[in-house]
């Protein structure tokens, strides 16, 4: 009598391999989202520094900061009081916007500006997704001159 050998994988072996591949794929996707959030936070901090440099240039030319009328305004990069002032003074070629620039998971990711103390001071407010930036915390952050 001859023995017939089956060549191939059993159903159990295939299911185990599929489960392992699925687990590895989910770990990689989670890691990628974390990396993307950290990258967006790094860009936010760089954007805020650029805005501060533009505001410093504007202040050096005008001896005051752009007027927000004492209220917090959303920076839209073109027609808000701060952007108009900086672009008009040619302090920057373009005012940066938040990488997400919208709502996500119940949080509004945008940059906000407010001139204070008769335009001799200002606040720029922004939101970070992670704690990956030294000296900055996750959540709302505010910078001044």
- Cβ within 8 Å of residue 143, ≥6 positions away: 48, 52, 123, 124, 126
The whole-number pLDDT of residue 11 equals: 87
Domain extents in the chain = 12-143
Q: Is the pLDDT of residue 31 over 90?
A: no
**What is the third-level CATH fold of 12-143?**
Glycoprotein, Type 4 Pilin (3.30.700)
- Higher pLDDT: 69 or 112? It is 112
The whole-number pLDDT of residue 28 equals: 83
Q: Lowest-pLDDT range, 16-25, 28-37, 38-47? A: 28-37
Helix, strand, coil percent values for the chain (each to nearest 5): 40, 20, 40
Reported confidence tier of residue 52, pLDDT bands at 50, 70, 90: very high
Of 134, 132, 137, the C-alpha closest to 40 is 132
Alpha-carbon distance values, 144 to 12, 122, 123 (Å)? 62, 6, 5
The arithmetic mean of pLDDT across residues 15-35, rounded, is 89
Reported confidence tier of residue 32, pLDDT bands at 50, 70, 90: confident
Q: For 63-105, write each residue's pLDDT tens digit.
A: 999 999 889 999 999 999 999 999 999 989 999 999 999 998 8
In the predicted model, what is the mean pLDDT of the chain? Answer: 91
Of 137, 112, 105, 107, the C-alpha closest to 126 is 112
The whole-number pLDDT of residue 30 equals: 80
């Amino acid at each position: 009598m001859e023995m017939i050998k089956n060549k191939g994988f059993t159903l159990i072996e295939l299911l185990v391999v599929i489960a392992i591949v699925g687990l590895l794929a989910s770990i990689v996707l989670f890691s990628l989202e974390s990396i993307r959030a950290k990258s967006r936070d790094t860009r936010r901090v760089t954007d805020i520094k650029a805005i501060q440099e533009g505001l410093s240039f504007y202040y050096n030319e005008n001896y005051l900061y752009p007027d927000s009328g004492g209220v917090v305004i959303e920076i839209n990069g073109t027609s808000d009081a701060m952007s108009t002032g900086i672009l008009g003074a040619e302090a920057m070629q373009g005012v940066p916007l938040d990488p997400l620039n919208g709502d996500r998971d119940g949080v509004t990711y945008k940059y906000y500006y407010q001139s204070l103390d008769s335009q001799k001071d200002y606040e720029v407010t922004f939101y970070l997704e992670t704690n990956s930036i030294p000296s900055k915390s996750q959540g709302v952050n505010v910078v001044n001159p």
